Amino acid sequence: MDTDSPGGSRKFLLAASILSADFASLGAEVSDVLASGADWIHFDVMDNHYAPNLTVGPMVCEAVRPYAGAAWIDAHLMAEPVDALVSSFARAGARMITFHPEASRHVDRTLTLIREEGCLAGLALNPATPLSWLDHVLDRLDMVLLMSVNPGFGGQSFLPFLLPKIAAARALLDAYASVSGRRVLLEVDGGVKAENIAAVAEAGADVFVAGSAIFGARATADAHHYDSVVARLRAALLAVK
Ligand code: DX5
Ligand code: ZN
């Protein structure tokens, strides 16, 4: 990982998914949630083809980029084909670009392309997609994203059968770190809330995507207060060794 990576020891990062934000004031939502203590902006890209929903593209990423300051934009591409979008999102200011292996004809080529564009590369695995997709690509990966819901919508419930999969991914990434000296981040995405974030951390996640849990706490239509919900998520993580 490069020098602005989250460091060598295990640290928990909160990635706020703007899927549940107020799209009519997206810039303010991004700066408000970061001011409340979120670490990354998780940017869910769906194409009504790979994923059964249609969301936002690189133009919106570029538009919100100035509101994110130094925080990373964590682009989660649920779109097919993916390669042309990689360059667009790199130009639009994404730092981490993650895609689904089923959405790329040539997974290794897409991973290489992400790094050539100067970004960090992530691979996203759906609930039923096996960890064996990671077998030959760990050297080209900076993050593994495990979906704990099926792609498409915010506000779905965390699938509990993902906990053992998170633990298995953690073991695999720890074994890889011990031979390579490289840490690959493990992000969990979908249905993460104050009630289950500690269990997700105990299973081995480093990065926690939270959309509806954070933006659902919007106080009123014109005031975005996320301090207390972000503090609740952090407090739950504090209890984790
Ligand atoms: C689902 C998206 C997720 C998800 C997060 O396809 O990738 O980022 O919507 O939202 P919550 O936290 O509401 O599950
Ligand atoms: Zn996502």
pLDDT tens for each residue of 96-129? 999 999 999 999 999 999 999 999 999 999 999 9
Question: What percent of the chain is helix, strand and coil (3-state, nearest 5)?
Answer: 40, 20, 40
Q: Cα–Cα distance between 146 and 100 in angstroms, integer? A: 10
Is residue 179 over pLDDT 90? yes
State the distance between the two ends of the chain, measured CA to CA, in whole angstroms.
24
- Residue whose tokens read 């460091």: 7
189 CA → ligand 2 middle, Å: 6
Q: Which CATH class is domain 13-238?
A: alpha beta
Annotated active-site residue in 47, 74, 142, 189: 189
Q: According to the model, what pLDDT value does residue 222 have?
A: 61
Per-position DSSP letters for 153-210, written without gaps between them: -SSPPP-TTHHHHHHHHHHHHHHHHHHH----EEEEESS--TTTHHHHHHHT-SEEEE
Q: Model confidence at 9, in pLDDT bands (50, 70, 90)? A: very low
pLDDT digit string (tens) for 204-225? 999 999 999 999 988 665 667 8
Atom of ligand 1 nearest to the CA of 42: 8
Question: What's the average model confidence in pLDDT over 132-145?
Answer: 98
Q: According to the model, what pLDDT value does residue 52 have?
A: 98
17 CA → ligand 1 middle, Å: 7
pLDDT digit string (tens) for 78-100? 999 999 999 999 999 999 999 99
Question: What's the average model confidence in pLDDT over 8-19?
Answer: 85
Max Cα separation, the chain? 51
Take atom 6 of ligand 1 and give the residue whose Cα is closest.
151
Active site (annotated) includes residue 135: no
Helix H or strand E encompassing 143: strand 143-147
Question: What's the average model confidence in pLDDT over 60-65?
Answer: 98
Q: Model confidence at 51, in pLDDT bands (50, 70, 90)? A: very high
Q: According to the model, what pLDDT value does residue 4 have?
A: 41
Atom of ligand 1 nearest to the CA of 212: 13
Structure-block tokens of residue 182? 């490289």
What pTM did the predictor assign?
Answer: 0.95
CA 126 to chain centre: 13
Is residue 18 over pLDDT 80? yes
- Sorted by where each begins, the domain ranges of the chain are 13-238
Is residue 7 over pLDDT 60? no
Q: Cα–Cα distance between 190 and 121 in angstroms, integer? A: 20
